[in-house]
Amino acid sequence: MAFDIEMIRGVYTKMSDTINKAREVVGKPLTLSEKILYNHLWDGAATRAFQRGKDYVDFAPDRIACQDATAQMALLQFMQAGKSKVAVPTTVHCDHLIQAKEGAAKDLKHANSVSSEVFNFLESVSNKYGIGFWKPGAGIIHQVVLENYAFPGGMMIGTDSHTVNAGGLGMVAIGVGGADAVDVMAGMAWELKFPKLIGVKLTGKLSGWTAPKDVILKVAEILTVKGGTGAIVEYFGPGAIAMSCTGKGTICNMGAEIGATTSTFGYDDSMDRYLRATDRADVADAANKVKAHLTADPEVYANPEDYFDQVIEINLSELGPLLNGPFTPDLSTEVGADMTKKANENDWPIKVEWGLIGSCTNSSYEDLSRASSIAQQALDKGLKMKAELGINPGSEQVRYTAERDGILGIFENLDAKIFTNACGPCIGQWARYSDPKNAPKNSIVHSFNRNFAKRADGNPNTHAFVASPELTAAIAVAGRLDFNPLKDKLINEDGQEVMFDEPTGWELPPKGFAVDDNGYLAPEADGRHVKVSVKEDSERLQLLTPFQPLGSTITGAKLLIKAFGKCTTDHISMAGPWLRFRGHLDNIANNTLIGAVNAFNQKTNFVKNQLTGDYGGVPDTARAYKAAGVKSIVVGDHNYGEGSSREHAAMQPRHLGVAAVIVKSFARIHETNLKKQGMLGLTFANESDYDLIQEDDTFNFLDLNEFAPDKQLTLEIVHSDASKDVIKLNHTYNDAQIAWYKEGSALNLIKKQNA
């Protein structure tokens, strides 16, 4: 059984009471986000209203989803928690570890052979602990979750930042680090700071070349990569209702790119249609009975300013297709003339070499069908592809259906490569170059969500732009970044001028979805006898050793690196080739912060070892400090740790002896990950104190023994000329989180409590 209808009915049954109670304590009509949050309180119905952006609240999520690259560390931790079964329905999805090279058949075979050790580990741990397992090739976690598990009004967490995709089906779905998932798997509450709420009113209607993707590209432009931090974005209005469910998923998916806790939409007909099309009529029926609880109260949508902390309005009828990039998902440019101008000014290569369609953001049946309508026109109008085209379908169900309906065949007639139903190039699993570091400057366009430097192909000179699938297809045909399909003509093979007509497509397959083997393996009812083995000498997997508490005195700590500018989780723990070590902490630690730019020399992976005066790589330098018994400190800029949920970005520095990460501001998931691993994640009380930090600095915490909620910490910075600065640091630790710090990690605390 893929989903649990009884569990869903249970969520709906208690809604009436909990929501009425919540309305009473809040004292006014409720947004959808509040309804879902208050219906999932760990302690049952609310007894008081929570302060948005302030109160830490315990929640009881309905589900957990993990993907192969993060599940390894999550499950290695869960195995230590001393439980025989997961407490909440959980699934593991194998999608990140499959490299795109020659096409699905060969690539999947290759992945199954090179990563068999990891896949077998995940499969056996899943079987042992009652976790549903989706095999390599079954699809991308978030597409599979939308098709099988997401349900209106539900709450889930997932060890991937794009878990938020399930907001397309009216969930509050939130990306977390593995240690957070372990809490819930172990039957404990999940803690979150009660989010702020941003309302986005969509008026007008999408048409022509404008797609749901353009809505979120626009929102990213307005809010920037950190504008959603700490907030749930709730979409509503006539434009929202008119959009498909998977289109809503695209919008929610990229909420991760603006740092939002999650995004969601009220229940409507598009969700009813999608549930029925994906064989869940019983969920649709149950949802229809509690419809009023699955959207905000009418007063909220009538006067949104009174209920949301911020309101944005976008008229879809006026929105045109956008291209966001390069190197950051919030830099948006309208197609055509604007792009010509900006590309010339900034020296972005106009020639486009690849168009890539797929990723969890845009790999639905509707996405493929709309892009294929452009591909079909290219064939009909005698146009030759100017760029190469690659496709990653979102799931085996989407792939099978799209193949049956001739959609994949259209792409193949254009010589497109159909890659595995997996993340592929989106996560750097793309064998594009043999030597990416020295590869030439070029542009690519893709329908993914992230376009940080080096992400897709490891080439720092690749300029990646994010667009809708249909625009990606058109640009791949034209081969130009500044191609405007609404206006520009192309010359076909016969020398004639031709133009594209508007894309068309199907929201859902007219003949219904079909699939032969969806790739799901149910766990045994009682898996206690299942053996999980990890080889001593494995280079892919390593059992964890508990972290030692850092203690209440940290003195004589050395600066490891002062990171300059953007420092995402890709800079802290790169993906691509390093994904192979996601289950082996010591091996993956060798990539720690190698992508971060050293503020003192603008170089990557080149920092001063204060003990020897020599310069070297970050991991080696950290290991040298650790070997000498010296703790180290990482300093960073704004939105440090933006991007992925990967807790490796916290565990690796922890493993290498970093005691504190001090920055101007954090991305939410990363900050929590640092806390979970028993480290100090702190922010400058005075942002400009960042400038005080020198290359040869030594740090002494002056009042760590008084570490307490809402109380600043004091740091003494000793410079090489013996002069000193004393600064204040802010933190957001509550009592429970300080207890994690004192025990050395949250996991140490769970183990202690279970013992």
Interacting residues toward ligand SF4 by CB under 6 A: 96, 140-141, 160, 162, 359-360, 423, 426-427, 448-450
Q: Which of 402, 427, 635, 729 touches ligand MIC by CB under 6 A? A: 427
Size of site (CB under 6 A) for ligand MIC: 14
Burial class (CB in 10 A: 0-12, 13-18, 19+), 602: exposed
Going 670 to 672 to 678 to 680, the CA torsion angle's sign is positive
Q: Which of 582, 646, 654, 670 is catalytic?
A: 646
Closest distance between ligand MIC and the C-beta of residue 318, in Å? 31
**Judged by CB under 6 A, which stretch of 160-168, 236-244, 514-522, 627-635 contacts ligand MIC?**
160-168
Does 136 sit behind a cis peptide bond, omega within 30 degrees of 0 on the bond before it?
Answer: no
Applying the rule CB under 6 A, the residues between 531 and 590 that interact with ligand MIC are 575
Token look-up 């569990």 returns 7
- Residue 309 a catalytic site member: no
Q: What are the DSSP E strand ranges found in 450-489?
A: 462-466
Q: In terms of C-beta distances under 8 Å and separation of at least 24 residues, what long-range contacts does 1-4 make, across chains too?
A: 1/522, 2/132, 2/148, 2/149, 2/520, 3/148, 3/149, 3/151, 3/280, 3/283, 4/89
Contact string (CB under 6 A) for ligand MIC, positions 432-461, x = contact: ------------------x-----------
30 vs 402 by CB, closer to ligand SF4: 402
DSSP tag of 575 = -
Of the candidates 34, 121, 110, the one whose C-alpha atom is nearest the C-alpha of residue 74 is 121
Given ligand MIC, ligand SF4, none, residue 140, with its beta carbon under 5 to 8 Å by kind, binds: ligand SF4
Q: Is 650 in the site for ligand MIC (CB under 6 A)?
A: no
Applying the rule CB under 6 A, the residues between 266 and 305 that interact with ligand MIC are none
Q: Which of 62, 107, 160, 183 touches ligand MIC by CB under 6 A? A: 160
Q: Is 181 in the site for ligand MIC (CB under 6 A)?
A: no
Closest distance between ligand SF4 and the C-beta of residue 322, in Å? 19
Q: Which of 62, 68, 95, 697 is catalytic?
A: 95
Specify whether the CB–CB gap between 690 and 550 falls below 8 A.
no
185 vs 426 by CB, closer to ligand SF4: 426
Round to whole Å and give the CA distance between 514 and 509: 9
Round to whole Å and give the CA distance between 145 and 142: 5
- Residue 582 a catalytic site member: no
Round to whole Å and give the CA distance between 243 and 234: 15
69 vs 597 by CB, closer to ligand SF4: 69
Round to whole Å and give the CA distance between 388 and 568: 29
CB neighbours (10 Å) of residue 147?
28
Q: Which of 399, 450, 648, 731 is catalytic?
A: 450
- Residue 450 a catalytic site member: yes
- Residue 96 a catalytic site member: yes
Distant-in-sequence, close-in-space partners of 228: CB < 8 Å, separation ≥ 6: 198, 255, 258, 259, 260, 261, 263
Given ligand MIC, ligand SF4, none, residue 646, with its beta carbon under 5 to 8 Å by kind, binds: ligand MIC
- Residue 501 a catalytic site member: no
- Residue 644 a catalytic site member: yes
Of the candidates 603, 707, 606, 613, the one whose C-alpha atom is nearest the C-alpha of residue 659 is 707
Q: Is 644 in the site for ligand MIC (CB under 6 A)?
A: yes
In this structure, what token pair is assigned to residue 84? Answer: 């025989």
Of the candidates 256, 194, 265, the one whose C-alpha atom is nearest the C-alpha of residue 228 is 256
Given ligand SF4, ligand MIC, none, residue 359, with its beta carbon under 5 to 8 Å by kind, binds: ligand SF4
CA angle 674, 454, 437 (to 5 degrees): 120
57 vs 97 by CB, closer to ligand MIC: 97
448 vs 699 by CB, closer to ligand SF4: 448
Q: Which of 162, 226, 454, 571 touches ligand MIC by CB under 6 A? A: 162
Given ligand SF4, ligand MIC, none, residue 69, with its beta carbon under 5 to 8 Å by kind, binds: ligand MIC
**Judged by CB under 6 A, which stretch of 158-166, 209-217, 344-352, 412-420 contacts ligand MIC?**
158-166
- 197 φ/ψ sector (left φ>0, alpha ψ -120 to 50, else beta): beta
Q: Is 161 in the site for ligand MIC (CB under 6 A)?
A: yes
SS3 753: helix
Q: Which of 93, 96, 455, 463 is catalytic?
A: 96
Given ligand MIC, ligand SF4, none, residue 70, with its beta carbon under 5 to 8 Å by kind, binds: ligand MIC
DSSP tag of 425 = G
181 vs 490 by CB, closer to ligand SF4: 181
Instruction: Catalog residues that contact ligand MIC under the rule CB under 6 A.
Output: 69-70, 96, 160-162, 175, 427, 450, 575, 643-646
Q: Which residues are catalytic?
A: 95-96, 160, 450, 644, 646
